[in-house]
Amino acid sequence: MKKFAFIFPGQGSQTTGMGLDLYNNFECAKTIYDTADKVLNKKISEICFNGPDETLKQTINAQSAIVTTSIAALEAFRSKCDIQPSFVLGHSLGEYCAMYAAEVMDLETTLKAIQKRSELMDNATKTTKGTMAAILGAKTEDINKSIEEASNIGLVQIANYNDPTQIVITGEIEAVNKACELIKEKGARKVVPLAVSGGFHSKLMDSAKEGFISFVETLCLNDAKIPVITNVDASLTTKNNDFKIKMPSQINSSVMWNQSIEKAVQEGVDCFIEFGNGKILSGLNRKICPEIKTFNVSNSETLKTVIEDLTVGV
């Protein structure tokens, strides 16, 4: 028997048109979008399906759109297949989909939480000017050394440990730019500035974290029925009080994705299924654990392919 983990992507995975096929072909997916429109008090379905791109990529819309689409993909899969995961995990905001899948939160609570999170993060970008950059093909020690050297200019940190060859840095614009220069000098294969509105997963998000702490206390959270491997520490989390601590901390902490996938593999996972738009996490997994198959469910065609492959054996 295969041991599965369900994984969910974060911000940056959005594209206009996502989820429309799911909406048109699965009643359960349509219900997810209709519920999201009602709970969020805006037509998030229209933003997913029709954009425009500029509207969809705004933090205040992108986070809700991605979560809604990933959950719609999950429910479409569940309507056709009874495979149960041993673990669930999500990249940054994708962790909210993982908590939904583990029944930590119901759909309405998940949507309200991600909307509040995105509002607080968006507000933080208006008072703190930051940016992010992806570093490819550099040694972690070289990145850390460059960050240390650039820190006398301003705040710069590691935002994401994405895979063994890719780390994202974050912080104040001048400091991030200086760190990028130093990392290039140390031999990085490529440095890619990211088109983002702020320095996410850094101390520039402290105000968002603080605002989220009091909000999380108002939420009704359950113990997880499936262990969630959480971003902040790459550890198995099941207790509702632990989620209440980790949810705010995730906003200004590094996303330990590489370590989280490695933890799943150490726990015996031998098949991943990514739910949501695109194949970003599938691509990262090819670098982290190339020997393990990662499927993607994003529409009716990919869902059919996954079920056929799993029926005959991976």
Among 201, 202, 253, 298, which one carries the catalytic annotation?
A: 201
Does 91 participate in catalysis according to the annotation?
no
Among 64, 70, 92, 118, which one carries the catalytic annotation?
A: 92
Pairing of strands 293-297, 87-90: unpaired
Complete DSSP assignment for the chain: ---EEEEE--TT---TTTTHHHHHH-HHHHHHHHHHHHHHTS-HHHHHHH--HHHHTSHHHHHHHHHHHHHHHHHHHHHH-----SEEEESTTHHHHHHHHTTSS-HHHHHHHHHHHHHHHHHHHHHS-EEEEEEES--HHHHHHHHHHHTTTS-EEEEEEEETTEEEEEEEHHHHHHHHHHHHHTT-SEEEE---SS--SSGGGHHHHHHHHHHHTTS-----SS-EE-TTT--EE--HHHHHHHHHHHHTS-B-HHHHHHHHHHTT--EEEEESSSSHHHHHHHHH-TTSEEEEESSHHHHHHHHHHHHH--
Does 92 participate in catalysis according to the annotation?
yes
Check: CB of residue 288 under 8 Å from CB of residue 163.
yes
Enzyme catalytic residues: 92, 201
